[in-house]
């Protein structure tokens, strides 16, 4: 798979590249950033999944992650959140369409031809970065924020052979039980809610997924305006307790849903992942 480097920057003890490649899953070009520490590698690495309206650039420029990653010699890959471009379906709302792929493989029109973000992340993206950069696929973790936290949790739970660790910031833990999930999964997967279970972290844990992980780490800001209506971390705690799966939700007083929150605790997450990679 050919990976085109669009820009290169030296930063925080390593090299940041913005890249583009063609995805068989989405049928479109896709972009991602990849930061690698100094040295020959192969490096353990983390895949970061961003939230609604984000691109490959939000985490890259705002999270302040790379100095922490350099301490551990861990690389970080951050893909875009959806297919984009001419001929790709979209919606005027911020929470559907381009920038809102929800990390599922759409089965409904007009989304089905290109919105295959589950397959993209679990197959095309990993093949691209593993082939083009000195990364160690046996030491790979995943984390994300909001919609991307939902993606990280569900993708890791379903693919423990791909990811050794998983954490999230302010994740949508149960699309079956929130307005964002109702809207997006109805549009992408149809009205049969039984089909949604494969993309609901709480349902997956209830169905027996996740037992290979020693812990799932979540940070949640208590000043997050989406906390009660959309995010509901207590549902993840309840699912974990029922399944005897360790779920640690750290509630952070005064923090909101923004990258100011993520930047405040990103070091903790990288430290946590590094112990497991």
Give me the catalytic one of 150, 257, 269, 273. Answer: 257
170 is catalytic: no
225 is catalytic: no
257 is catalytic: yes
Give me the catalytic one of 174, 224, 269, 273. Answer: 224
Give me the catalytic one of 25, 50, 82, 146. Answer: 146
DSSP result, the chain: --EEEEEEEEETTEEEEEEEEEETTTTEEEEEEEEEESSS-PEEEEEEE--TT--TTHHHHHS--HHHHHHHT-EEEEE-SS--STT----SSTTSBTTB-TT-B--STTTTTT-BHHHIIIIIIHHHHHHHS-EEEEEEEEEEETHHHHHHHHHHHH-TTT-SEEEEES----GGGSHHHHHHHHHHH-S-GGGGGGG-HHHHHHTTTTTT-S-EEEEEETT-TTIIIII-HHHHHHHHHHHT--EEEEEETT--SSHHHHHHHHHHHHHHHHHH-
Catalytic residues: 146, 224, 257
């Amino acid at each position: 798979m050919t990976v085109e480097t669009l820009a290169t920057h030296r930063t925080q003890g390593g090299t940041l590249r913005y890249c583009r490649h063609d995805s068989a899953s989405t049928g479109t070009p896709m972009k991602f950033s990849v930061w690698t520490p100094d040295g020959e590698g192969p490096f353990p690495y983390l895949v970061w999944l961003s939230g609604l309206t984000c691109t490959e650039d939000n985490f890259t420029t705002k999270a302040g992650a790379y100095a922490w990653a350099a301490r551990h010699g861990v690389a970080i890959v951050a893909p875009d959140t959806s297919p984009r471009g001419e001929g790709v379906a979209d919606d005027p709302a911020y929470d559907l369409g381009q920038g809102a792929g929800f990390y599922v493989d759409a089965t409904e029109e007009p989304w089905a031809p290109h919105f295959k973000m589950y397959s993209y992340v679990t197959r095309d993206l990993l093949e691209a970065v593993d082939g083009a950069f000195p990364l160690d696929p046996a030491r790979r973790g995943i984390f994300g924020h909001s919609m991307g936290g939902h993606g990280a949790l569900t993708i890791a739970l379903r693919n423990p052979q791909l990811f050794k660790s998983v954490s999230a910031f302010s994740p949508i833990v149960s699309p079956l039980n929130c307005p964002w999930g109702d809207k997006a999964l109805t549009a992408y997967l149809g009205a049969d809610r039984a089909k949604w279970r494969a993309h609901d972290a709480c349902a997956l844990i209830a169905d027996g997924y996740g037992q290979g992980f020693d812990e799932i780490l979540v940070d949640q800001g208590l000043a997050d305006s989406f906390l009660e209506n959309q995010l509901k971390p207590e549902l993840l705690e309840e699912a974990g307790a029922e399944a005897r799966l360790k779920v640690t939700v750290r509630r952070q007083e005064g923090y909101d849903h923004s990258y100011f929150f993520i930047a405040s605790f990103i070091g903790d997450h990288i430290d946590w992942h590094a112990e497991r990679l």
